[in-house]
């Protein structure tokens, strides 16, 4: 989640033009996809001459980019709107929760306007209406790669909007519509600008990365005298030529992922896959209406690991889905034992207003959900501890994210920012120079705990 504090760190320098530019405060909630929406919006606002400010008091108007994925996120979004109204009073709401305007207006009738997700033009039009600002070339200080809310050395690269799947627990397709892939040459142009601006790691995001380009019938494009199809495999191949880390998120285990795994190495497509499996029991996956639910995922994982022995797998799961029996939960734990995933997150199932799963029979009682969650996390922690311990003694390349209390906090190919653990660098022997934030370093792993690693430069 991006907070107002994160937005503060990206406040752009403002050239003084003799008059104060209208100031917009921005509160960005939710997943990396929402974060990219926020970045696009603040980029457009800066290019139109608005100032982006971090505090409610300095802002002439506040935009709250909401999340509407689960009930807890909806509550957080409604609270954030209330806070912005209390401290500023002039509030526009956008993002996933904006697809349910009545829900927002019931609780906060004083908001100036509500737009749905990725409705950039409508948000800009609403801001223009409530806070007019003619374009001012002297205030137009936007770099070609746009403005971002992430550190300078990594960036999320959103390749598509929406989703063609219909998972029964999810309302994203209702909120964001069907799959709309960005043309491959447009994505590559953005990647090129980001790399030119100093980005060392591109994080590919979407709702369903494996489906990329299906809606464009895998249109052929030309890039750097090469021909590519607008397709996941070709996207990975093309991004792999940029000489930076490329990390793939939200991949479903469709057959063509095997070909992407074969491309992995460094620099280029990292040996890391983020695959939201959600469950392992075929019966539960069918009720969830998950894409690729008929795949024999254990066989696929074994084949990927044979092809890429260093492959790191991350996933997320839901326990307590309606109708999940004891036997199906045990099946999940046994699957996890065999799959030996490196990084794992877990949610207890909860209803989301408008989701088809709300109508399923046999809800799992809250205490049982809690117990299954605890048992799942214990198993995942055991596996994580063992897999990180096996990395002690290995050398690898890390990218330093920040220096905290003098300690470089870094990540290897095996850790994505924000969601996985970190690699803490100890002082180098022989007084070797300590790497700075945004730099790569070669290190030897010296220790591990359940989620994090320690290393020293070599
Ligand atoms: S793949 Fe399923 S969970 Fe993910 S956005 Fe699409 S419908 Fe929702």
For the chain, which residues make up each domain, given as ranges?
4-139, 154-389, 395-457
Considering the four listed CATH numbers 1.10.1300.10, 2.40.50.140, 2.30.42.10, 3.40.30.10, the one that applies to the domain covering 395-457 is 2.40.50.140
**C-alpha 169 – ligand 1 centre gap (Å):** 8
pLDDT at 81 over 50: yes
Residue 208's closest CA among 259, 268, 238, 166?
Answer: 166
Ligand 1 and 173: CB distance under 6 A: yes
d(CA 42, CA 252): 31
For residue 395, cis peptide bond before it (omega within 30 degrees of 0): no
pLDDT for 214: 96
Q: Tokens 């969601």 map to which residue?
A: 419
Ligand 1 atom nearest to CA at 173: 7
Ligand 1 atom nearest to CA at 176: 5
Residue 391's closest CA among 451, 440, 305?
Answer: 451
d(CA 253, CA 296): 9
pLDDT at 139 over 50: no
Which whole number is the average pLDDT over 325-338?
97
pLDDT at 167 over 70: yes
- Specify the DSSP element, H or E, that contains 382: helix 366-389
Q: Whose CA is nearest to atom 2 of ligand 1?
A: 167
**C-alpha 172 – ligand 1 centre gap (Å):** 6
DSSP state of 406: T
**C-alpha 404 – ligand 1 centre gap (Å):** 36
Contacts 24+ apart (CB under 8 A), 105-108: 107/78, 107/81, 107/82, 108/78, 108/81, 108/82
| Least confident segment among 116-125, 402-411, 426-435 | 426-435
Number of Cβ atoms within 10 Å of the Cβ of 90: 18
Ligand 1 atom nearest to CA at 252: 1
| Average of per-residue pLDDT values in the chain | 88
**C-alpha 231 – ligand 1 centre gap (Å):** 19
Strands (E), 288-363: 312-319, 343-348
d(CA 126, CA 444): 53
pTM comes to 0.76
pLDDT for 323: 97
**C-alpha 295 – ligand 1 centre gap (Å):** 17
**C-alpha 167 – ligand 1 centre gap (Å):** 6
Ligand 1 and 285: CB distance under 6 A: no
**C-alpha 179 – ligand 1 centre gap (Å):** 11
Ligand 1 and 172: CB distance under 6 A: yes
Fold entry, domain 154-389: pyruvate-formate lyase- activating enzyme (3.80.30)
Dihedral angle, C-alpha 159, 165, 166, 169, nearest 10 °: -60
Buried b / exposed e over 347-385, threshold 16 CB at 10 Å, is bbbeebeebbbeebeebbeeebbeebbeebbebbeebbe
Task: Say whether 194 sits in a helix, a strand or coil.
Answer: helix
Ligand 1 and 208: CB distance under 6 A: yes
Between strands 423-425 and 453-457, the pairing is parallel
pLDDT at 375 over 90: yes
d(CA 93, CA 27): 10
Buried b / exposed e over 101-133, threshold 16 CB at 10 Å, is eebbeeebeebbbbbbbbbeebbbebbeeebeb
| Least confident segment among 12-26, 32-46, 52-66, 83-97 | 12-26
pLDDT at 12 over 70: no
**C-alpha 69 – ligand 1 centre gap (Å):** 11
pLDDT band at 1 (very low <50, low <70, confident <90, very high): very low
Ligand 1 atom nearest to CA at 290: 2
Ligand 1 and 88: CB distance under 6 A: no
Ligand 1 atom nearest to CA at 207: 5
Query: Ligand 1: which of 96, 161, 163, 290 to mutate, judged by most atoms within 8 Å of the beta carbon?
Result: 163
**C-alpha 39 – ligand 1 centre gap (Å):** 23
| Least confident segment among 11-15, 66-70, 327-331, 354-358 | 11-15
Ligand 1 and 336: CB distance under 6 A: no
**4-139 placed in CATH 3.40.50.12160:** yes
Query: Ligand 1: which of 162, 274, 291 to mutate, judged by most atoms within 8 Å of the beta carbon?
Result: 291
Residue 247's closest CA among 204, 198, 195, 208?
Answer: 204
d(CA 12, CA 8): 9
Q: What are phi and psi of 210, to 5 degrees?
A: -65, -25
Ligand 1 and 163: CB distance under 6 A: yes
Which whole number is the average pLDDT over 349-354?
90
d(CA 265, CA 246): 10
Torsion sign across C-alpha atoms 325, 280, 355, 353: positive
pLDDT band at 11 (very low <50, low <70, confident <90, very high): very low
pLDDT for 279: 96
Instruction: Find out whether 33 and 84 touch, Cβ atoms under 8 Å.
Output: no
Query: Ligand 1: which of 31, 168, 170 to mutate, judged by most atoms within 8 Å of the beta carbon?
Result: 170
pLDDT band at 117 (very low <50, low <70, confident <90, very high): confident
Between strands 395-404 and 154-158, the pairing is unpaired
Ligand 1 and 350: CB distance under 6 A: no
| Least confident segment among 114-128, 209-223, 325-339, 349-363 | 114-128
């Amino acid at each position: 989640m991006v907070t107002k504090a994160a937005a503060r760190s990206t406040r752009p320098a403002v050239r003084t033009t003799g008059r104060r530019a209208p100031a917009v405060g921005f509160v960005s909630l939710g997943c990396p996809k929402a974060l990219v929406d926020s970045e696009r919006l603040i980029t457009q606002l800066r290019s139109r001459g608005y100032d982006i400010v971090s505090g409610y008091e300095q802002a002439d108007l506040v935009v709250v980019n909401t999340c509407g994925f689960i009930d807890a996120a909806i509550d957080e979004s409604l609270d954030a709107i209330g806070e912005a109204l209390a401290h500023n009073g002039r509030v526009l709401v956008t993002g996933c929760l904006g697809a349910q305007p009545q829900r927002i207006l019931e609780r906060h009738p004083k908001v100036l306007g509500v737009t749905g997700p990725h409705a950039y033009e409508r948000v800009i039009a609403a801001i223009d209406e409530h806070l007019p600002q003619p374009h001012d070339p002297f205030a137009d200080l936007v770099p070609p790669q746009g403005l971002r809310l992430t550190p300078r050395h990594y960036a999320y690269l959103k390749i598509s909007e929406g989703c063609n799947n219909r998972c029964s627990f999810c309302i994203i397709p209702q909120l964001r519509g069907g799959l709309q892939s960005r043309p491959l040459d447009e994505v590559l142009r953005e990647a090129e600008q980001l790399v030119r601006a100093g980005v060392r790691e591109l994080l590919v995001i979407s709702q369903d990365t494996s489906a990329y380009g299906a809606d464009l019938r895998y249109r052929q494009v030309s890039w750097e005298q090469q021909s590519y199809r607008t397709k996941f495999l070709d996207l990975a191949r093309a991004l792999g030529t940029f000489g930076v880390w490329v990390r793939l998120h939200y991949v479903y285990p469709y057959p063509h992922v095997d070909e992407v795994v074969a491309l992995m190495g460094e620099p280029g497509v990292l040996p890391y896959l983020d695959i939201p499996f959600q469950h392992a029991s075929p019966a539960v996956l069918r009720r969830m209406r998950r894409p690729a639910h008929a795949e024999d995922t254990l066989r696929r994982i074994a084949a990927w690991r044979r092809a890429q022995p260093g492959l790191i797998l991350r996933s997320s799961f839901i326990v307590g889905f309606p109708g999940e029996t004891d036997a199906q939960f045990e099946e999940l734990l046994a699957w996890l034992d065999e799959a030996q995933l490196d990084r794992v997150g877990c949610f207890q199932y909860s209803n989301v207003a408008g989701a088809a799963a709300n109508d399923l029979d046999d809800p799992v009682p809250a205490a049982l959900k809690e117990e299954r969650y605890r048992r799942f996390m214990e198993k995942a922690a055991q596996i994580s501890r063992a897999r990180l311990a096996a990395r002690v003694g290995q050398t690898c390349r890390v990218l330093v994210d920040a220096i905290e209390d003098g300690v470089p906090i870094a990540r290897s190919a095996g850790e994505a920012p924000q969601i996985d653990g970190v690699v803490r660098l100890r002082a180098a022997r022989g007084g070797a120079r300590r790497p700075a934030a945004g730099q790569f370093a070669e290190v030897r792993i010296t220790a591990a705990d359940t989620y994090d690693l320690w290393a020293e430069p070599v």
